[in-house]
Structure 1
Amino acid sequence: MEMVSGVHIQYYFVCHRKLWLFSKNIQLEEGHERVQAGKLLHERSYKNADKKELAVDNIKIDAIDGEFVREVKVTSRMTKADRWQLLFYLYELKKRGLSKKGLISYTKERKTEEVILMEDDQRELDKIIDRIYEIVEQPHPPKVINAAICTKCAYYDFCYAEEGDD
């Protein structure tokens, strides 16, 4: 696997199976309704930001606006995953000599959360990245999690497809 990205961090907190499938280039999200809504939201957001859609190595940031790295999300349903994804971006930028704070904007709820990278977060991210590599190096995907979020996932049909009657 190449370097860990923000998507890997997000999927680590959402579903280890999705993380594993994504890492194997089984990417079923193209054309998925929720993914398209997110892409449209990103296109329309941060028109006045200093830098928009900045890609650096393994990170793709929505925007940098002054002292803040900004992320936009439709809803706060995945708050923990969103927070850790932004912490990962802040950590990667810090390793490159750029210290920033973070802001996550949840458009549906019209709220914004500030995120600040702390020493404990950096240590935890090192552990999370190690765990991500362990998961993606497994020979088989992790089991289906059977959670409520599964029904809205782009991988739903893949995970819940019935095997043939052999």
Structure 2
Amino acid sequence: MHITGKHINYYHICHRKLWLFGSGLSFQQDNEHVQDGTLLHLSAYPQRARRFREVQLGGIKIDFYDPVDRVVHEIKRSQKLEEASVAQLKYYLRVLERHGVAGPTGVLEYPKLRRTQDVTLTEQDRADIETWEAGVAEVVAYAQCPPIIDKPFCKQCAYYEFCYVHE
């Protein structure tokens, strides 16, 4: 199984969402919040297309990578689920390390908030990422879909209607 940044992100948000995504069910294209994020990604930093590179390694896709300074730039709409965003970015840094990139760093960017957050890897992060990868594989292999977590952010989720169809 190729673990992507989305897998790591969803692992930190909702195991049900991770399981559905890992099972090939995706409603991303129809979700207005996902579409807004895609538009933000395309329009927030138009000059990036010339300066940075898109990188695909081991199942991940990094949209904005500065190969000179070894910096991954990850754009997010909101900092509401920041822990998951940081984990996703740390995962990208670890994958780069595994492919021979020495000392990569990252920047989480929130263009709408005009805020950034620097992200680096520690030895503890490297150990945690091993645990996350095992956790992702375990959740995706569940025989049944995990239960609904019923959190306030569920209403923004692309899987909301799927999870709450009975209501």
Q: TM-score, normalising length from structure 2?
A: 0.92
Distance 2:18 2:161 in 1: 16
Q: Which residue of 2 aligns with 1:108?
A: 112
2:92 matches 1:92 = no
Distance 1:47 1:59 in 2: 22
SS in 2 for 1:145: coil
- Count of paired positions: 162
| One-letter amino acid matched to 2:52 | K
Distance 2:63 2:26 in 1: 21
Q: Where do 1:26-41 residues align within 5 Å?
A: 26-41=25-40
Residues 30-55 of structure 1 show CA distances to partners (whole Å, capped at 9, x for unaligned) of 12101111111121244334334322
Identity %: 36
- Once the two structures are overlaid, the 10-residue window that deviates more, 38-47 or 14-23, is 38-47
Q: Gaps spanning 5+ residues in structure 1: where?
A: none
SS in 2 for 1:70: strand
Q: Which residue of 2 aligns with 1:78?
A: 81
Q: Which residue of 1 aligns with 2:5?
A: 6
Residues 12-38 of structure 1 show CA distances to partners (whole Å, capped at 9, x for unaligned) of 111100000000001011121011111
What's the CA shift for 1:58? 1.1
Structure with the greater relative contact order (CA < 8 A, sep ≥ 6): 1 or 2?
2
Are 1:10 and 1:84, in contact at CA under 8 Å, matched by a contact in 2?
Answer: yes
Are 1:61 and 1:69, in contact at CA under 8 Å, matched by a contact in 2?
Answer: yes
Are 2:90 and 2:125, in contact at CA under 8 Å, matched by a contact in 1?
Answer: yes
Are 2:109 and 2:115, in contact at CA under 8 Å, matched by a contact in 1?
Answer: yes
SS in 2 for 1:114: strand
| One-letter amino acid matched to 1:89 | Y
Q: Gaps spanning 5+ residues in structure 2: where?
A: none
Q: Which residue of 1 aligns with 2:54?
A: 53
Q: TM-score, normalising length from structure 1?
A: 0.92
Distance 1:120 1:158 in 2: 36
Q: Which residue of 2 aligns with 1:153?
A: 157
Distance 2:64 2:58 in 1: 15
SS in 1 for 2:155: helix
